[in-house]
Amino acid sequence: MSNVKLAVIYYSSTGTNYELAKWAEEAGKESGAEVRLVKVPELAPEAAIESNPAWKAHYDATKDVKEATSDDIEWADAIIFSTPTRFGNVASQMKQFIDMQGGLWGAGKTVNKVVSAMSSASNPHGGQEATILSLYTSMMHWGAIIVPPGYSDQVIFGAGGNPYGTSVTQGQDGKMVEDVEAAVKHQAKRTVEVAEKVK
């Protein structure tokens, strides 16, 4: 049984990153970690959500998922972030959540958190890597320990070969193009394993 507390913190408008987060949660539990799956608060106006049927459906379907707070960051030994790409950067919802952690950061409570990240975009070169690297820049400011998957397992290649973190393309039909479940689970297990060593 692991003694690691893992927070899986995600933002998802139509469900792709929610699915990635659920796989990470599952793998974290399989590794023996205590896991919290939480979403960052939605910032978009209701009119924008209502205008996109897939967004509205996902928004309604995940109303019961607990919203992330600073307490989740403070509680966790390890954190896996999952966010869609917005112009090569993290979604504004995730960015605001990270920006609001100044109090924790100022108190030194983000230091040595073990972190890893995942992303998605609507095409293979739509900024997934830049999004993960952007998030990792913030984590360097936190004094966190970044755990990328690298090429630590063959499943990385099957998922598209992103060494920074698992990333996936969302097709026009709303479904994932690449098969990334095994890569997400490997990344989550690796994050827990490193957190055990750090702890």
What residues have CB less than 8 Å from 3, skipping those under 6 apart?
A: 196, 199
Which of the four pLDDT bands, split at 50, 70 and 90, describes residue 1?
Answer: low
pLDDT at 117 over 80: yes
Mean pLDDT throughout 28-42?
97
Query: Among candidates 112, 28, 44, which has minimal Cα distance to 84?
Result: 44
SS3 state at 197: helix
Calpha distance 113→136 (Å, rounded): 12
pTM of the model: 0.97
Question: Cα 52 from chain centroid?
Answer: 23
> What pLDDT, in 10s, does the model give residues 123-153?
989 999 999 999 999 999 999 999 999 999 9
Domain limits, the chain: 5-198
Specify the CATH superfamily of domain 5-198: Flavodoxin domain (3.40.50.360)
**Percentage of the chain with pLDDT > 70?**
99
> What pLDDT, in 10s, does the model give residues 58-116?
999 999 999 999 999 999 999 999 999 999 999 999 999 999 999 999 999 999 999 99
